[in-house]
Amino acid sequence: MENKNINLGIIGLGQVAQTIHLPIWGKMQNVAVKGLFDTNKSHAKALAEKVGAEAYSSSAALLNDPEIDAVHICTPTHTHMKYVLEAIEAGKHVLVERPIAKNLEETLTIYDAWKNSGLVVMVGMNQRFRPDAMILKSFIENGELGDIYYIRSGWNKPIRDAHSWRLKKGQSGGGVLMDLGIIMVDLALWMTNFPKIESVSAMTFHHNIDSVEDTAIFQSRFEGGMMNVECSWSPMAESDDQWLRIFGTKGSAKLYPFNIHKMMHGNLVDITPHTADSDKANYRKSYENELRHFIGAVRKLHVATCTPADAVERMKLIDACYLSAKQEKELKVNS
């Protein structure tokens, strides 16, 4: 597979798939978007004609096509387990949008199916693939910030679709913690080489939404440090607000915007590498890099990141947050 074109199928053709994923896939060398499937079949047919692909009558028809090598699953969370398991059974490599499933039980089911399959199964955590995030991670891994003792991250993003499936717990698995919180947790832990979380204390709120939490705040302890995460769909703010701050014994760093400071000869010095990329450019490149990484893993050029094994650990932490909020106390996290 290293030298052949990768034939790709896409399941789920919502806004992000149309505006972000399809344009990137369409420009990628040695990748051909062969097939599309969506439950809205007329929509899938029209889009297939536009991009020169085939519209399949069912997900099974797409997955059982021997010419398709890999699939990109861009559907609501409650369908992820079904499609991922079917893809693994059909011998297809999988890129599935986050979160991998709507709870820990489903995540473990996917993990068990994947672990001995020999297939690439990757979760779409595009924030890991921002150019500034990858540069910052390299600085941390090289010890430029010293020992990390405090991480603060969060994302406030007003939800714009009041009728979204994200507001139905049976389909989403949870509210803003599953939508935005899991992204910032994954980014912070990946950035700092996955410190082992020992305990968590969380609170959730239903300010403007009854069905799922629209605001969540939690604090977790790891050996030698602490992490705080905040996320909300209902902030008293006019626009999105995203942040990641990392503090070490030799310096500190942040994203949104990117900045690194290090203590040198008794002075705090700005050592941020020069980059001309805007936040919008970093966002776009995060998807381009993510999709290329997936294809590279399919071609066996490198090992995939964001695996189901990673997803299990993130979901354990999210589960602990929900339980802590329900019981109103700090809880140990089972590793």
**Tokens 């979204």, located at residue:** 164
For all residues of the chain together, what is the average pLDDT? Answer: 94
pLDDT of residue 275: 73
pLDDT of residue 335: 58
What pLDDT digit, counting tens, does each position of 85-106 carry? 999 999 999 999 999 999 999 9
| DSSP, residue by residue, 137-181 | HHHHHTTTT-SEEEEEEEEE-----TT-GGG-HHHHSSSHIIIII
pLDDT of residue 21: 97
pLDDT of residue 276: 61
Alpha-helical runs (H) found in the chain: 15-16, 22-27, 41-51, 59-63, 80-89, 104-114, 131-141, 169-172, 176, 182-191, 279-298, 308-327
161 has a pLDDT exceeding 90:
no
Say how far apart CA 221 and CA 199 lie, in whole Å.
5
What pLDDT digit, counting tens, does each position of 29-47 carry? 999 999 999 999 999 999 9
**pLDDT mean over 168-183:** 96
Q: How sure is the predictor about 148, in pLDDT bands with cuts at 50, 70 and 90?
A: very high
Say how far apart CA 6 and CA 120 lie, in whole Å.
13
Q: What is the CA radius of gyration of the chain?
A: 20
What contacts 24+ positions apart, CB below 8 Å, involve 79-82? 79/12, 80/106, 80/110, 81/106, 81/109, 81/110
Compute, in degrees rounded to 10, the torsion defined by CA atoms 108, 112, 118, 120: -20
234 has a pLDDT exceeding 90:
no
% residues pLDDT > 70 (the chain): 97
78 has a pLDDT exceeding 90:
yes
Other CB atoms within 10 A of residue 317 CB: 22
168 has a pLDDT exceeding 70:
yes
Domains (range + CATH), the chain: 6-126 (3.40.50.720), 128-287+314-332 (3.30.360.10)
Say how far apart CA 285 and CA 61 lie, in whole Å.
32
pLDDT of residue 274: 82
pLDDT of residue 169: 94
Say how far apart CA 179 and CA 306 lie, in whole Å.
16
What pLDDT digit, counting tens, does each position of 274-332 carry? 876 787 889 999 999 999 999 999 999 999 999 999 999 999 999 999 999 999 999 99
pLDDT of residue 2: 59
Q: How sure is the predictor about 334, in pLDDT bands with cuts at 50, 70 and 90?
A: confident
What is the pTM assigned to this prediction? Answer: 0.95
- Strand-pair partners of 205: 215
pLDDT of residue 277: 74
Of residues 281 and 1, the one with the higher pLDDT is: 281
